[in-house]
A and B are shown apart, each in its own frame.
Chain A
Amino acid sequence: MAAKSRESVVLQPVSKSGTGKASKRNITYINVLQVLTVAALLGYMEYAVTSGKINRIFMASPSSIVEEAFHIAADGTLWPHLILTLQEVLVGYALAAGVGIIVGLIWTMFPKTEAYGNVFCSAIMAIPKTAILPLLILWFGIGFQSKVVLIFLFSVFQILYSTVTGAKQCKIEYLKVARVFNATKMQTVFKVMIPAALPSMFNGLRLAAATALTGVVFSEMQSAKAGLGYLLSESQNLLNTPRMFFIIILVTLISVCFVKLIAAIEYLLCHRWSRV
């Protein structure tokens, strides 16, 4: 994101100074090439699968993927799985965001709590989350709860540490101004530290959004009775390759939309003043 906005800053004067036309033409030219590449790839997939050059089990033709998408959407197979996965992600992520931000703020307000808690959080963070999935299943079953806990663990530390980093980056001068005006600790936190930490906080929230979906799909593939991940591994067992492709595309789209949603909230809150 940061790289993107910096790029646009660099490009702006170019487009203003009259050479904009040329660079625009350049971009569309590249865009056309990109679209052609994708079209060629899809065309080849279609041809190779339908003509039997590639076995249907290994590859799905675009038309069969679309067909499968309409099929499972129409006969209702898809919806319960989709809804369950979305619920798991939203609940797990919301918990992680809430706990991560609150603990992060407590740590910055009371440094002793950070001195106490940091070791534990670093230790738990160091465990590869996927490795404790079997334990989580043992404790929380193979249903909703274990997924929520896993997503929580996937996301919470990212959010916690970026909140803490953001609050610590709050300039000394900002805090001095608050002290000059006799701000209470609460006022300092809510009126100065949180706003100052917002960009870093959203950085964490965006990264966590991207990993949250990885967590849920993985755990549903391992052990579950429903969810998109379950549907994915089921279609693998049934050798339903078009469905596998469709679910992969769907999960990707959800992930992208989720990250975009967080970025949009950040934009609403920060775009008027933050330059980077």
Chain B
Amino acid sequence: MPTIKINKLDKYYPGENGETTHALKDINLEIQDGEFVCIVGPSGCGKSTLLEIVAGLLEHTDGEVLLDDIPVNGTSRDIGVVFQDASLYPWKTIKKNIAFGMDISGVPKKEQEERIAKYVKMMNLSGFENKYPSQLSGGMRQRAGIARALVMNPKVILMDEPFSAVDHLTRCTLQEELIRIRQEEKKTVLFVTHDINEAVYLADRVILLSPRPSTVQEEYDISIPHPRKRSDEYLVQKAAEIVAAISIGADKQEAVEYYI
């Protein structure tokens, strides 16, 4: 059964003096329970827009988004979001940041402690619970951001370029951790990235969006099991395929900032 179903989704942004931006056009997608899907596409095509619509943070213009057959309108307990720069609150300690969602929904303190302890351990943040975000490295902040989403135990996790602000080595570590967590927790993940290698390494399926107004240009099944090797022939070839498809789609568009 699909967890997320997107039917004929359209999104226009209103602009100044009546000009509108047609960001998404007729997007159709089905994301299965427990699937890890990466979304790639040229810069400005509407990846973040799509993610925010699924998260219930943004209204769409036409079509529908279903979560377990129920239309998404507004944010939901079942969906967790990890933001690009972690977006931790600087005035809260790491522990309080992770506890934020539980605070909001009134989870008893004792249960909070237990759940925090679990995810602090899982995200390798032990010893940093009482530090403030400014005292942590970018990679650690990102882990805390992931812990904050996971601790609410959502069915679906949406991530918008979560690792783009950290250095290459940290990114690789975070990727490994994400794969591990995803296997432990059996989450459905929708993951936006600029990095094609990252996409093919992580995902069960890669969705390529076309330039604006963006539609689903192509879908790629990455049908090999984890653990994968980054240098795996199959993955390298898939990545090359996707990059080639992007440059076809972007022929008429301005230069693309992709790296493989």
Interface residues, chain A, CB within 8 Å of chain B?
Answer: 171, 173-174, 176-183, 187, 191-192, 195-196, 198, 270, 272-275
Contacts and interface: CB of A to CB of B under 8 A. Distances in A.
B110 to A, nearest CB: 20
Contacts of B76: 182
Given A181-B101, A181-B105, A171 B87 contact: yes
A176 B87 contact: yes
Interface of B: 55, 57, 75-77, 79-81, 83, 85, 87, 89-92, 100-101, 103-105, 132-134, 152
A187 B104 contact: yes
A188 B215 CA distance: 35
Contacts of B104: 178, 181-183, 187, 191
Nearest to B132: A273
A85 B75 CA distance: 53
Residue among B57, B90, B105 with the highest chain A CB neighbour number at 10 A? B90
B182 to A, nearest CB: 19
Residue among B77, B91, B100 with the highest chain A CB neighbour number at 10 A? B91
**Secondary structure dominating the interface of A:** helix
Contacts, number: 59
Residue among B57, B87, B103 with the highest chain A CB neighbour number at 10 A? B87
B100 to A, nearest CB: 6
A177 B100 contact: yes
Contacts of A181: 75, 100-101, 104-105, 152
Contacts of B90: 273-274
A173 B162 CA distance: 13
Contacts of A273: 90-92, 132-134
A177 B105 contact: no
Contacts of A196: 89, 91
17 contacts: A171-B87, A173-B87, A174-B87, A176-B87, A177-B100, A179-B75, A180-B79, A180-B80, A180-B81, A181-B104, A182-B75, A182-B77, A182-B104, A192-B89, A273-B90, A273-B91, A275-B134
